[in-house]
Structure 1
């Protein structure tokens, strides 16, 4: 079932809150299945007698494809709809988890878990998040924040749960039980009721022309997305840090004499801080009094993340580790709601395509991050260089976001949402004033 609307303004509520719930559940399952899995590294490394770098590839491929599937997932949404795309992704994810139970080598898991599970969740991620842009305008900040709290909830629930399942059922049993839990992705698909805008018959084309139209929109969008390209680069660097946090912090704590369960609880601390911050952030992001500051949220949060990661290898006490994890969670809780508002304000009606491209670049960072950190650790047998490297990547990402905001506010660039190539004349200066406001409010021009 779909919901139709006559105008261009989203309903800003109604069934949209059920769609937010769907997105929340999808984010939670993705975090629990792909991100809160640091406890699996030592188990698989010991069982298959492999290097940390080899085992890290399993998760880097999964997390990478989770994001790299973004553009393809966006295309499927345009062609077949949101609900069908999410359902296909659920089937792939569950199937990959089930056959991972029969793994005989790390290379088997590269395919079963890395490729199948990662691709499945990649087909779920883009539509369940991008659909919020069709349901919300004025309350988009709140909707995004509530949705993204699912990631923190996933850390909270699955970090200790994964450890308990491993201790009681082994890693093979873990794959079977997580596959059953992933069956809730079908619930996520059922809750989505996409909005279909009413169109006259005159503007409705044939199916062949409409596929053609999707390709043309992608090409036109990419050709004019000058500011957006720097957002993609900054997001690539930011996910270089995100993808390695869980895979470094838990083994680091275990290496310093912390029990496995206590080490996994560090991710829970991060998750609690993230979810609380995102709830608070959702309440204030839509306030007009914060208009001036919203564009700088990604910069500040990435600098905090980078600084915390650089300081982490010098933490010898569990309490200090927990404080740093809490700081990371707070910064993560602020970053994504603010970043997606910037993306929405820059791309406007091209938001669904933008989400897919952002997730694709996130995949680049996710694929390269864990093996890069694993190679550094295997060659130095120390956590200092991996933490320092990914921390600097976070700092650089913050610098790029700062440059993006300053460039936009200088009015020397064009909003790629409009598809213009030339700087408009002085008579069009009003459009720039409106756009400059939208970059901080997240309100479509």
Structure 2
């Protein structure tokens, strides 16, 4: 158990470093826009591709670390991330940056993230696992709060030198943390042996009878799932704006980079509050997880629509800090929400497909918000589009939730009727109730 806590602390440090850089792309986007003299859409693409790569590759990365082990997979992640940032620092073409930063660095984050979740689950179980994973993921929010430090590096050394410094830090700090990330085989076997024989028999039988393709085809025929997955795509378009292009919006609002980094840091603090509140407080709210998620989406839309109307610095800070809090809740609960909308037997497939839809929406974000900015010279219309996508996502989740409740009630009603008729004694000769 003591080694398990060391794994948790190592994961927290890794999330702080890797996702602190990934989610603070707002600052790098400003640097790219000035240096490459490119459109907002083109400079936003590396950040959107990076976030997309870190999510869409979930299934592949999970398979890889199950084959070669946690530690080797995390080492690959450290190498990809460091080399991606290092290569980016020497480039003069924003399109190539989409590969080095977008693909390489994004995949590196995925190769770090998922194996750490896997190795942590070797030492903790049940509610303890939920708590320690929550603590690890808060590291990403702490990384967001380090925006002033990243901005200082950009301002003091230029973004090229800063990326080289960060690449070295990821290697020097990441490799020792990787050495800690080793799963205990005996504990993995112990967790497996704790499952009942009946459960293992059912799982093995179901795996033999249904192929992976068949399970995904079954999932895509489920109405509740079909109506909910586009909601994840729409929501990710809006969330991506706050991680990628919000910095340029603030710069257009006559704020300098120091003020922008401070606001982003406050959003990171709000992110921490949001993650912790949903992780430890959702179970005490007398509403289903899906309903809570819908309410948070609507609240996030409210903070988003208030951005263009926040004309003073104080009001802008208040609105964006609130947006950071609700954004943190959305990110912390997105996994549980994806599992909740999928059929129970297909929760793993539902989670994998959620990452695909969420990543696709992130990739499309620059073509929505930043493209509008390039054509109109203002992000206001793009922000209102984000509000619309939030509301539409909430509407789709609501439809799916109502349909699922209606289906569950119908199934329960049918089961009660079947039970009632089965309990009535029958005359074997006349086949009529006695």
Give the TM-score taking structure 1 as reference length.
Answer: 0.79
Q: Which residue of 2 aligns with 1:46?
A: 34
Q: CA RMSD in A?
A: 3.4
**Matches of residues 44-123 of structure 1 in structure 2 within 5 Å?**
44-123=32-111
Residue aligned with 1:285, SS: helix
Q: Does 1:154 align with 2:143?
A: yes
Q: Deviations over 1:316-349 (max 9, x none)?
A: 1111111111111221232233333334455667
Q: 1:174 to 1:402 in 2, by over 3 A?
A: same
Q: 2: CA distance between counterparts of 1:228 and 1:286?
A: 23
Q: Does 1:338 align with 2:347?
A: no
Q: Which residue of 2 aligns with 1:385?
A: 381
Q: 2: CA distance between counterparts of 1:219 and 1:310?
A: 42
**Matches of residues 74-223 of structure 1 in structure 2 within 5 Å?**
74-129=62-117, 135-139=124-128, 141-157=130-146, 159-183=147-171, 184-186=173-175, 187-188=177-178, 190-193=180-183, 195-196=188-189, 197-198=191-192, 216-217=211-212, 219-223=214-218
Q: 1:124 to 1:395 in 2, by over 3 A?
A: farther
Q: Does 1:426 align with 2:415?
A: yes
TM-superposed deviation, 1:276: 2.2
Q: Which residue of 1 aligns with 2:291?
A: 296
Of 139-148 and 396-405, more deviation after overlay is shown by 139-148
Q: 1: CA distance between counterparts of 2:209 and 2:17?
A: 30
Q: Which residue of 1 aligns with 2:427?
A: none
TM-superposed deviation, 1:173: 0.7
Aligned length: 400
TM-superposed deviation, 1:79: 2.8
TM-superposed deviation, 1:160: 0.9
Q: Deviations over 1:400-426 (max 9, x none)?
A: 222333333223499xxxxxxx99951
Q: Does 1:260 align with 2:257?
A: yes
TM-superposed deviation, 1:263: 1.2
Q: 2: CA distance between counterparts of 1:125 and 1:384?
A: 34
Q: 1:15 to 1:398 in 2, by over 3 A?
A: farther
Given that residues 231 and 394 in structure 2 are in contact (C-alpha distance below 8 angstroms), is that contact kept between their aligned partners in structure 1? yes
Long gaps (5+) in structure 1 = 1-12, 203-208, 415-421, 431-445
Q: Deviations over 1:252-309 (max 9, x none)?
A: 222222221101211111110110232233332344xx35343322111111112221
Q: Deviations over 1:339-383 (max 9, x none)?
A: 333344556676655444322222101111123221110100011
Q: Deviations over 1:191-233 (max 9, x none)?
A: 3526345579x9xxxxxx9xx9799346425523634444432
**Matches of residues 220-259 of structure 1 in structure 2 within 5 Å?**
220-224=215-219, 226=222, 227-259=224-256
TM-superposed deviation, 1:17: 4.8
Residue aligned with 2:90, SS: coil
Q: Which residue of 2 aligns with 1:205?
A: none
Q: Which residue of 1 aligns with 2:354?
A: 358
Choose the corresponding residue for 2:319, options 311, 320, 324: 324
Q: Which residue of 1 aligns with 2:371?
A: 375
Of 380-389 and 50-59, more deviation after overlay is shown by 50-59
Residue aligned with 2:127, SS: coil
Q: 1: CA distance between counterparts of 2:75 and 2:383?
A: 37
Given that residues 218 and 353 in structure 1 are in contact (C-alpha distance below 8 angstroms), is that contact kept between their aligned partners in structure 2? no
Higher-Rg member (1/2): 2
Q: Does 1:24 align with 2:12?
A: yes
Choose the corresponding residue for 1:306, options 290, 295, 301: 301
Give the TM-score taking structure 2 as reference length.
Answer: 0.81
Q: Does 1:395 align with 2:391?
A: yes
Q: 2: CA distance between counterparts of 1:23 and 1:344?
A: 24
Given that residues 27 and 150 in structure 1 are in contact (C-alpha distance below 8 angstroms), is that contact kept between their aligned partners in structure 2? yes
Residue aligned with 1:50, SS: coil
Given that residues 48 and 244 in structure 2 are in contact (C-alpha distance below 8 angstroms), is that contact kept between their aligned partners in structure 1? no
Long gaps (5+) in structure 2 = 198-203, 420-434
